[in-house]
Structure 1
Amino acid sequence: MINYKLIFRVLGLLLAVEAFFMLVTAGVSLIYGEPDFMSHIKAAGITGGTGILFGILGRKSGKKIGKREGYIIVSLVWIVFSFFGLLPFYIGDYIPSFTDSFFETMSGFTTTGSSILNDIEALPHGILFWRSIIQWLGGMGIIVLSLAVLPFLGVGGMQLFAAEVPGPTPDKLHPKITSTAKRLWGIYLALTIAETALLTFGGMDIFDSVCHAFTTMATGGYSTKQASVAYWESPYIQYIITLFMFLAGTNFTLTYFAIKLKPKKVIQNEEFRFYLGFVILFTLIIGAGLMYKHGLGLEHAFRDALFQVVSIITTTGYATADYLTWFPLLSILIFILMFFGGSAGSTGGGIKIVRIVMLIKNSSYELKRLIHPNAIIPARYNSRVVAPEIVTNVLAFFVFYVISIIVSIVVLSALGIDFETSVGAVVTCIGNIGPGIGEVGPAANFAYIPDFGKWFLSFLMLLGRLELFTIIVMFSAAFWRK
C-alpha cells in the first residue's frame, strides 16, 4: 500500500526549502530596493505555510521510501515546486497570465530555458534572480539537494535518487546515497563559484555573473538579457561560458575523478570520448561552413560554431548567433544535435550520449550477429559486457522518446501551429533545450503558443527531465495495484 503520509511529509519539507530560497531572493530585491520584495515575501509565506500543513498531514509516516513512493514524490515535487514557484511572477503581475507564469517556472525548474518573456531587462533584479536560482536548483535536482541536506531521507533515499538522476544507471560516488548527494552538490557549487569569479574578472557585473553561473551549470539557459549571451560581445565571456557549459554536460562522476587527480578514468570513459568527439566534429564542420558560406574570420567562425554546438548538445540553450539564418545544412546539423543531449549524470537533458553510443554499438553488433549467427557477441561499454536488460532499457527509451515526439507534433499541429514550429517546440521541450526551430528559434520565444499548447509543452518538459519512464510508469494500472 502506498504511504501517502510519507509523500506529504517529504513534499512539506521540500516546500520549506523552496520557501527559504524565496526569502533569499527577497533579500536580493531588498538590496536593490525594488518593488518585487513583497511578491517574494508573500510567495514564501504561502509556500512555507503549505509546507507546514503538509508536514502536519504527514506526521507518524515512517521513513521507509518504497519504489512507488519514490516515483510519486519525484514526479509530484517538480509539479508542486512549479505551482508555488510561479507565485513571485504572478503575485507581482510580472507575468500576469497564470498559464504563462507556470510555463516560465516549469521551464526554469526543468532547466529547459524556453521563455514567454519579450522584455527581460524590464524585470526587477529579484525576479531575474528567481528565474536563475530555480534553474540552478533544478539542474542538479531538487531530490538530490534534499538527500544532501535532509538526513532523514537517507533511509530509502536510493529510490528517489534512481527516479530523478538522469541516465540509464545512476552513478554513486559513495556507498551511502546521502554522501553521494553531498559530493555532487559540492562539485556543482564549486564550479558555480568558479564561473562567477571568472565572469566577473571578464567584465560582467557581479549580479549577471551569478545569474549566468547558475543557469550555465544547470544547463538551463535563462539569461538576464533579451539577447542572451550575444549581449556581451566579449570573446572571453563567451569562451568561459562555453567551457562551463561543457563541464556541466559532463558526467559529474568524471569531474569528481578529475578533481581527485585520476585523469585516466576520464580519458578511458567511452561516453566522454564520444561527447568530446561530437563537439569537435560538429564545431569543425559548422565553423568551416560559417567561413565558407558567411565569410566569417577564423576565430569568429570557430567561436560561433563552438558556442552553439556546446550550447545545444548540453541542452543549455544560450545563443550568440541565430542558427536559423545560417546556410541550411548548418541549421540542420544544429537540429540533429538537439537529439543528443549531455552525458548521463550531468545536468544536461536530451537522449544522453551514453544511449546514443549504446544504440550505435548495438546496431553494429547486430550486423555482426547476422553475419555470424552462431557467435555470442555481447554488447560492450567501457570494455565491460553490458547487461541485456540495460540494452533493452535503452532501446525502450528510444522508442518511447520517438513516439512521444510524433504524438506531440500531431497535438501541436492540431492547435493550428505550423509543422516546422511544432517540430521545433516539441523537440526542444522534451529535450530540455530552450530554443527550437521555426517560430520558437533562438531569436524568438513561446509567447504566441496557445494556452493549451503551453500546458502540453510544460508536461513534455517534465517528461524529458525525468527521463520518460518515471512519468510513464505511473500511467500503468500495475503501478497502482496493491
Structure 2
Amino acid sequence: MNFRIIAYIVGWVCNFQAAFMILPLLTAGIYREKDFSAFLLAMLVCLVVGVPLTRKKPKNKVFYIKDGCVAVALSWLALCIFGAIPFVVSGYIPHPIDALFETVSGFTTTGSSILSDVEVLPHCILIWRSFTHWIGGMGVLVFLLSLLPLAGGYHMNLMKAESPGPSVSKLVPKVQSTAKILYTIYFGMTLIQLALLLIGRVPLFDSLCITFGTAGTGGFGIVNDSLGSYSTYCQVVTTIFMILFGVNFSAYYLILTKKFRQAFKYEEVRYYFGIIAVAIVIIALNTAHLFRNLLTAFQQAAFQVGSIITTTGFSSTDFNQWPALSKTVLVLLMFVGACAGSTGGGIKVSRILILCKAAKKEFQLYLHPNAVKKIKMDDKVITHDILRSTNIYISLYLMILAASVLLIAIDNFDLITNFMAVTATLNNVGPGFEIVGPMGNFSSFSYLSKCVLIFDMLAGRLEIFPLLLLFFKGTWKKF
C-alpha cells in the first residue's frame, strides 16, 4: 500500500474542495447573506488538511488498483465530511449526522433529503447543495486527473475505482487526456442546458441550481415541490437533459469525432432509449385519467421516467399517487439505472445486458452442452473478468440491499417505506414511495438508520468495491 500517494491525492481533493466553496461564498456576497462565514471556516479547514499533504510530491509513484480504490473511498469520505461543515456551522442542519446525510446525498448525486422546507434556506446553502451534485456527477477524482499529473502511468487505476460501470476504457491513449475530454463534454452540456433555461426565462439562480442537479443527475430542488411549479418548457428541457446525461459519454466523444456509425452501434445506449420509450408509453396510458389530456400525461410520464432511470430524482408531480402499474415501472427503472460511463446511478443498463446475455448462454448450453458460446457486446467478447466482476457486484448489491432493509426496520416503519428508502439511496435515486416519496423526506429515520443509508449512498456511487475494501483486513497490509 502506497500510503504517501494516497495522502497526496486526498490532500488535493481537500484543496479542490476549498476552491469549490468559492461559488457559495460569492453567492452569499451577492445576496448579502451572513452565512458566508460558514463557508470561510470550511475552506480554512480544507486547506489546513490539504496543503500539508500536498506540499511534497511522493517519490514512489507506483499506484495499483488497491491503492486507487482506497484513495477514492477516502477522498469521497473527506469530501463529504468537510462539505457538511457549512450546514452545521450555519445552523440550518445542526446535527452532524443530518448534515452528513445531506452532503453525502449531494455528492453521490442521490438527492434524498432530511429537510422538510428547503425554501427557508439562504441562497448560498441552496446553491452549495445543488453544486455538490455537479461536483460528484462526473467524479472529483476524474476532475483532479484532468488537471494534475498525479501518478505517471498509473492514472487508470484511479479512474477505474471512481468511474461507474462494469469496465472503464480510455477514449485516447493518455488517461489525463481522457479525463479532460470527459469534463469538456460535461461542462459543454451543462452550459447548453443553462442557456436553454435562461432562454425560457427561468431566473439565473434557479437555472444554475436546476442545471447542476440535472447534469449530476442529483435532483436537489430549491422549492418544496421540486420542479412542479416551473413551466412546461423548463420541465421539457430538464427531461431532455436528464436523459442525455444518462448516456455513456463515450458515445458523445464518438459523435464529436464524427464516428457516427460507432456511436449509434452502442448496444447499451440503444437499449437505454428503448427502455425509456416503453416505460413512457406504459405510464402515460396508465395515468392518462389523472391529467387534463393525453399529451400532458406523456409529458409528465417522460419527465418522471427520465428522472428515475437516470437516478436524478426531480419530480414534477406526486407520483406516489399514481396507479400501482406506473409505480412498479418506476421501481424497476430505479434498479436498471442509466448507462455506464454516465453521471447516472443504478445497476447500469450494461450490467443488465451482460446478465441477460449470460443467462441466454446458460440456456443454450443446457440444450447443447458441447457448444462453444461467447458473450458479446458491441461485437466485442465480454471477458471472464468482466463477467465475474458483474456477478460479484450483483451478489454484493443484493446482500447490502437485504442487510440495509433489515437494519432500518428497527425504526418500525412499514415495509414499503423501508424497502424504498434503501432502494432510493443505494441506487442514488433520491425519492421513493410512501414516507420517502417525492413530497416526503428522510427526517423521520433514526440516526442509526441514517448512517446505514449514508453507507448505501456511498456504496451505490462508488459501485461497492472501493468502499468495502476499506473494511477488508488485507487492504491495509504492507507488501
Give SS of 1:118's match: coil
Deviation at 1:384, TM superposition (A): 2.3
1:300 aligns with 2:296: yes
1:257 aligns with 2:238: no
Stretch moving more, 339-348 or 33-42: 33-42
Q: Which runs of 5+ in 2 are unaligned?
A: none
2:147 to 149, 153, 175: 149
**Distance in 2 (alpha carbons) for counterparts of 1:68 and 1:378:** 30
Deviation at 1:389, TM superposition (A): 2.2
Structure 1 segment 381-460 matched on structure 2, within 5 A:
381-460=377-456
Find the counterpart in structure 2 of residue 45 from structure 1. 44
Structure 1 segment 235-246 matched on structure 2, within 5 A:
235-246=232-243
Find the counterpart in structure 1 of residue 5 from structure 2. 6
State the identity as a percent. 38
Find the counterpart in structure 1 of residue 118 from structure 2. 120
CA contact (8 A) 1:154 1:178 kept: no
Deviation at 1:153, TM superposition (A): 4.1
**Distance in 1 (alpha carbons) for counterparts of 2:73 and 2:236:** 36
Deviation at 1:296, TM superposition (A): 4.0
Find the counterpart in structure 2 of residue 163 from structure 1. 161
TM-score, length-scaled by structure 1: 0.96
1:339 aligns with 2:335: yes
Give SS of 1:35's match: coil
Find the counterpart in structure 2 of residue 273 from structure 1. 270
1:315-341 Cα distance to aligned partner (Å, 9 max, x none): 000001121201111111111111001
Amino acid at match of 1:183: I
Rate the CA distance shift 1:191–1:428 in 2: closer, same or farther, 3 A. Answer: same
CA contact (8 A) 1:342 1:348 kept: yes
Give SS of 1:338's match: helix
1:337-386 Cα distance to aligned partner (Å, 9 max, x none): 11001100000111000001111111112111111111111111112221
**Distance in 1 (alpha carbons) for counterparts of 2:53 and 2:261:** 47
Amino acid at match of 1:73: A
Find the counterpart in structure 1 of residue 93 from structure 2. 95
Amino acid at match of 1:442: P
Find the counterpart in structure 1 of residue 312 from structure 2. 316
Give SS of 1:33's match: coil
**Distance in 1 (alpha carbons) for counterparts of 2:291 and 2:447:** 42
**Distance in 2 (alpha carbons) for counterparts of 1:68 and 1:352:** 23
CA contact (8 A) 2:2 2:62 kept: no
**Distance in 2 (alpha carbons) for counterparts of 1:414 and 1:73:** 33
Find the counterpart in structure 2 of residue 380 from structure 1. 376
CA contact (8 A) 2:69 2:465 kept: no
CA RMSD across the alignment: 1.4
Structure 1 segment 463-478 matched on structure 2, within 5 A:
463-478=459-474
1:40-64 Cα distance to aligned partner (Å, 9 max, x none): 11211121112123335x6645333
**Distance in 2 (alpha carbons) for counterparts of 1:350 and 1:285:** 21
Give SS of 1:359's match: helix
Amino acid at match of 2:189: L
CA contact (8 A) 1:323 1:334 kept: no
CA contact (8 A) 1:423 1:437 kept: no
**Distance in 2 (alpha carbons) for counterparts of 1:417 and 1:55:** 46
CA contact (8 A) 2:8 2:58 kept: no
**Distance in 2 (alpha carbons) for counterparts of 1:89 and 1:417:** 27
Find the counterpart in structure 2 of residue 68 from structure 1. 66
Amino acid at match of 2:42: A
Deviation at 1:258, TM superposition (A): 1.9
**Distance in 2 (alpha carbons) for counterparts of 1:452 and 1:54:** 32
Deviation at 1:3, TM superposition (A): 2.2
Structure 1 segment 101-140 matched on structure 2, within 5 A:
101-140=99-138
Find the counterpart in structure 1 of residue 171 from structure 2. 173
1:276-298 Cα distance to aligned partner (Å, 9 max, x none): 0000000001101111x435411
**Distance in 2 (alpha carbons) for counterparts of 1:153 and 1:201:** 43
**Distance in 2 (alpha carbons) for counterparts of 1:47 and 1:164:** 21
**Distance in 1 (alpha carbons) for counterparts of 2:461 and 2:400:** 14
Q: Which runs of 5+ in 1 are unaligned?
A: none
1:98-153 Cα distance to aligned partner (Å, 9 max, x none): 11110000100111110111121111111111111111110000100000112234
**Distance in 1 (alpha carbons) for counterparts of 2:416 and 2:20:** 38
Give SS of 1:475's match: coil
